[in-house]
Structure 1
């Protein structure tokens, strides 16, 4: 199976996905300690199935009775663990899909190279940087996580290193987002 085939799983047009706006709204209104379970579930799902970006978890008004900086740290860790767990599931799906060849056959029928450029860049990063490249790719705010996760799942074969890289990248992405938003004067 090509990387384009797996990457396409996570980057299909939003119109083919069911409407998950209710889930984003749930995250944005999550309060209390139960809100952490919502953040974990959202992060788990966004790693392999949901369209969109993971930064939305930073908007959760958890109200845990702790300073906001501590709450942000907790959100980042919970989201990172959720995305690492979801990435392991995506890793498994990617490996199984690679062996089945179903997506390859579907993509071969398309008149254009849907993911050619992304595939080349992802392969280049993976071959040059390995798991560190995956972590770095996941640190880019706004970039769809599923593209990198599925693409790397084809090239790599160590579940633990894969989960660790997605944890580091996911936490890094949220830290970069917090620092960036704070630098421009946005209060989180």
Structure 2
């Protein structure tokens, strides 16, 4: 069984953001074992710098000669590891920018109170659920990972727990996406 191509996920990442279609196309055409390195790099970049959705990795036609479920498990593990590594980088950047105040000043100039809303939500989740809250927030398909990662990076201080939470949340997000797709296909 393979995932249906209902809509190109590259289309979902374009329009609002700068043109990163070359990167999403690279993931959508990643084949062989080198494709796993592309998935890792894409997931790393999604965690701290790129807009877009991480679910695109599920559509990589890796052709590894492995059973479908094993291939998906490998994609989920590699993507989760890439996101965890990228989140540790974002974690470090978050702590640096928190001390400089540059990002807060830039966001304060926007017409919408992005910082206030994000900070209130992130503080509420972090205080109530801690790292489990971060993992749960990252399980939501379609929601920008970068926003949650940076919001929690400013509030927390344990690199290992942060990386573990982002790995669990990233893997959970891909599993939730797969279950949703499989359910939708079952009803077609």
TM-score of the aligned structures, taking structure 1 as reference length: 0.87
Could you tell me which residue of structure 2 aligns to residue 63 of structure 1?
A: 63
**Root mean square deviation, CA, Å:** 1.6
Residue 119 of structure 2 is matched in structure 1 by 119
2:157 equivalent in structure 1: 157
Structure 2, gaps ≥5 residues long: 1-14
C-alpha separation in 1, matches of 2:148 and 2:88: 13
Q: How does 1:1-188 map to 2 (within 5 A)?
A: 18-185=18-185
Q: How many pairs were matched up?
A: 173
- Specify whether residues 65 and 146 from structure 1 end up closer, same or farther in structure 2 by C-alpha distance, changes over 3 A only: same
SS of match in other structure, 1:185:
helix
Q: What secondary structure, in the 3-state scheme, does the structure 1 residue paired with 2:50 have?
A: coil
Which protein, 1 or 2, shows the higher relative CO under an 8 Å CA cutoff with sep ≥ 6?
1
Structure 1 pair 65–95 and aligned structure 2 pair: CA distance change class (3 A)? same
Q: TM-score if structure 2 supplies the norm length?
A: 0.87
SS in 2 for 1:184: helix
Distance 1:67 1:128 in 2: 40
Q: Deviations over 1:114-169 (max 9, x none)?
A: 34333322211111000000000000111100010000001100000000000000
Aligned-pair distance for 1:109? 3.4
**Residues 20-70 of structure 1: CA deviation (Å, up to 9, x unaligned):** 110000100100000000000000000000001100000000000011111
